[in-house]
Amino acid sequence: MQAHEFIEGHELVIARFGLWPSFHDGEVLRIILDRSPRVPDGASIPSVEVHLRGWIMGPELAEDGHYKLHNDSVIRFLFEDISEFELEGFNQQNVVTSLNLELRDEPQSGANVLHVEFEHCYQFCCAFIARWAKVVDIRPYAEPPASLA
């Protein structure tokens, strides 16, 4: 199994882009950390939801001189039962070099876990281990409205 196949709903990303993208120059728009109790005995299962903007960059140039971005989208990921969470440099533009995924064997259970790394590009980086992952949804990217001055 390839590491992205560990993520439930990974087919939605492949259907949108035609492949599993590297997310080079993608941008983390939102991170939500949650430790709310979600199991019958009241135990907390820490999770992180990440909204990641991604696209496929074409070889052709747009009118503004930049490469055209195809299928510019925001993918909402949910990672649950996370551990070893690290976050650094969250700022006004959280560009990543890539989204790196690696399957690892958990020593205690022998089950697969997913090591997730949003690789550093400009100040921002994030890494953690998740026992479960899902693509919640994927939507076309829409520019945020201009702020009111």
Task: Give the model confidence (pLDDT) of 81-108 as tens digits.
Answer: 999 999 999 999 999 999 999 999 987 7
Give residue-wise pLDDT tens across range 50-73: 999 999 988 898 888 888 889 999
- Give the predicted TM-score (pTM) of the model: 0.89
Task: Give the pLDDT confidence score for residue 66 in this predicted structure.
Answer: 85
Enter the tokens of residue 109.
Answer: 């259970």
pLDDT at 45 over 80: yes
Which of 45, 12, 32, 33 lies closest to 136, judged by CA? 12
- Domain boundaries of the chain, sorted by first residue: 3-140
Q: State the amino acid at position 141 in one-letter form.
A: Y
Beta pairing, strands 67-88 & 47-61: antiparallel
Beta pairing, strands 112-120 & 47-61: unpaired
Q: State the amino acid at position 68 in one-letter form.
A: K
Cα 138 to Cα 53: distance, rounded to the nearest angstrom: 9
